[in-house]
Amino acid sequence: MNSIRPATPADLPLILDLIGELAEYEREPQAAVATIESLSQHLFGAGLGQGPTARCVIGEIDGEPQGLAVFFHNFSTWKGKPGVYLEDLFVRPAARGSGLGKVLLRHVAKVAVALGCPRIEWAVLDWNEPAIGFYKAFGAIAMTEWTTFRLTGEALANFAAGEA
Ligand X SMILES: CC(C)(COP(=O)(O)OP(=O)(O)OC[C@H]1O[C@@H](n2cnc3c(N)ncnc32)[C@H](O)[C@@H]1OP(=O)(O)O)[C@@H](O)C(=O)NCCC(=O)NCCS
Catalytic residue numbers?
Answer: 135
Q: Classify strands 81-91 and 120-121 as parallel, antiparallel or unpaired.
A: parallel
Q: Which is nearer to ligand X, 43 or 100 (CB)?
A: 100
Measure the CA–CA gap between 111 and 50, rounded to whole angstroms.
20
> Measured from the CB of residue 45, what is the shortest distance to ligand X in angstroms?
26
- Please give the radius of gyration of the chain, using alpha carbons only, rounded to the nearest integer: 17
Where do runs of H (alpha helix) occur along 27-128? 36-39, 100-114
Measure the CA–CA gap between 110 and 129, rounded to whole angstroms.
25
Q: Choose among 7, 108, 130, 20: nearest CA to 65.
A: 7
Query: How long is the chain?
Result: 164
Q: Which is nearer to ligand X, 73 or 107 (CB)?
A: 107
Q: Is 107 exposed, middle or buried (0-12, 13-18, 19+ CB in 10 A)?
A: middle
Task: Report the residue closest to ligand X, judged by CB.
Answer: 101
> Measured from the CB of residue 142, what is the shortest distance to ligand X in angstroms?
12
Q: Which is nearer to ligand X, 48 or 137 (CB)?
A: 137
Q: Which is nearer to ligand X, 32 or 124 (CB)?
A: 124
> Measured from the CB of residue 20, what is the shortest distance to ligand X in angstroms?
12
> Measured from the CB of residue 23, what is the shortest distance to ligand X in angstroms?
10
Query: Which residues here bind ligand X, judged by CB under 6 A?
Result: 22, 25, 89-91, 96-102, 122, 124, 128, 130-131, 133-134, 137
